[in-house]
Structure 1
Amino acid sequence: GEGRPRLTLSLNTARAGGSEGNGMSFPALGSLVSGSVLSMSDRAVTLSVDNHEGLVALLAVEHLADTANVSKTFAEMIQTGQRLKGLRVMHVRQERMELLVTSQPLLLSARFLHPSQEVANEGIPEGAPVFPCSSSVEKDTICAGAVSGVNDTGVFIRFGGGISALVPKLHVKHPAAFSYGDAVLSRVKSVDVEKRRIGCTFRNAVKSSIQLLKSRLNELAMLSDGLLPCAEETTAAAAKAPATAPWRRHPLGTSHDCHASAVRPYGLVLTLGDDSASMVLVPPECYPGGAEALASIEAGTKLKVRMLDLDVEKSLLLGGLDPDFVKRGRPKFRKTIPAMDEGTVVEVRV
């Protein structure tokens, strides 16, 4: 009758997993897709998905890399019409005809977990961390996700299917080290199925820290060469890219002859003996005797330095002058280092 409230519904019977519905098929959860950039905003990149007419994919800016600061720089490289590939489907919004995708290396290497949908996990080993898309996840499971918030309560992590997790402040030693969008590994401590919430910890979660480190260093190296990992043209360009960044010419862990350039409050500045364009900084804590000993070094002094870290923004290497550590970075000593597996006992120095 007149004035009676009405609710109008439209049904979309399409189902994820490649099945047909209303003439539309959707890629399976966890599968890889590619497409062309339609538009960009401060928050996301919108793409048309290959081989699926009318279907679009949303790639959030924070999902371009494992770390938030690198993601923002990668976002500035993207142009309308550019083709992106190797994007992993995290969520399917059938009613909106869109996919949520990621190109974060950590999530690309994780196994998607959903109890009621067929998930594409081809090529990902059984023991890899999982990306939960429901609250049906077992205790002590190592999960991959992205940071969605940091406050006095702790660090919040977002998974798939609207599932979130909290790492309590008690289990977070350095909250300032986390930024929105950072890819992280955590271990499940508790599961609340009704609230669709998971309790996690960072303790004993990183089983593959070496692989994570390599992935992050590779991202930074590609950033220095102006290459976008998910761009279609990157594979060919990476092979031809000149070794412009100092950390490509002088890999971390290697030892080199350097010459002291200046002593600053923040450390000793050096130039590499065979590469005057590359700068090395030795912080006081990386030199026996600390700041007082560094102050006694004169300009031009020749020193053997081991490359320990890198600073992409300043385009310099961070080094150490500990004699024993430097010695072990020389080629003949590096060749004698045995391969390390999980559980290998190693000697460390604080």
Structure 2
Amino acid sequence: MALINPPAWMQAGSYPARTDRLVIASLMGYPGFLIDEATPLRIRQGVRPSYTNQQMKVRAAPTPNMTVIVSAGMAYVDNHDAGGAGTYVCVNDADVTLIIAPAGGAGQFRKDCVIASVYDAETAGSASEWRLEVIQGTYAASAGAAVRPSLPPNAQILADVAVGASVTSIAAGNISDVRQFTVGLGGVLPVSSASAPNRPHPGQTMYLTDTDAFRYGKVDGSTGTVTPDQNIPWITPAVGTGYTTGGTTAGSPGNRNGPIRYRKVIRDGTPYMEWDGGATRANGAATTNILAGTLPAQYIPYAVRSFSVARNATSITSVANSSSVVHTVKVDFDTAGQVTLVAATAGDVETNWFSLVGISYPLA
């Protein structure tokens, strides 16, 4: 057991470094992950966040070459050599340039990692220092097959660096920022939903950077989501050739359902797409993409979303009595970013107008 703030009469001129590490750990955050429940003296390690998250950020050289630059900042690294050994504070007070090993030849791709690592002879090995270093990955036959290398046990990963075959410089596009952030017990933790701790302490609040939502820890170890009031503006896209977006007055296109528009909202931490409005289709217009272009990536679902939507009640060619039984048409929201009208033939009059009002689906 380590004494924290012992009485004055018990203080000595020197004490084990582990005492300092445990003091640091006691001031830091809850472990956060179920796997750490067995070692409660651990923290959730990571980089200290800042307004623009520039701390310990890895970037390319101003004139790209085979180096990367690590910005100044602070990182907290837990000792994984031995349980309960405490936490290190790693402070970098200026830009540090790190060398990326020369690329392999044709057909050789690899993924290198930039890390902040701690070596402590008290628990393992002979070195006692912390380093900013690059761990070189093994070669693979393609960029997609390259995997992250094994890392030292006491390390905080900062970036992945994709090293292509025969490249002579590392540009911004080769660097993937994979830092995780951590704060003390009272702070809000900025983190992506994929790397959010599954066991935050009760009341610990996290801001999910990819879904723009807040999550908090409960007493039973689970999490809840705070969904703030949303006033997300609608986006009105241009429609494709042969389509006229809807209006709201008598005689307007789209059966007066208003213009086609969409927006992304958050529901219980999950991003959803909402659609509104309608359009009129000229006979002979293409029955594929309703829009003039494709949706931006952040509005594309992970799987095709199909809906039957209201349309005019005109009979379908070669389908007897269809006008009395068929009043809908299928629309697909696909993974290519298109909104596809699925009709019988491009020249058929079966769809003069259609409505997208009320359509909603999860994006992830």
Q: TM-score, normalised by structure 1?
A: 0.25
Task: Give the number of the structure whose alpha-carbon radius of gyration is greater.
Answer: 2
Structure (1/2) with the larger helix percentage: 1
Q: TM-score, normalised by structure 2?
A: 0.24
Structure of higher RCO (CA pairs closer than 8 Å, 6+ residues apart) = 2
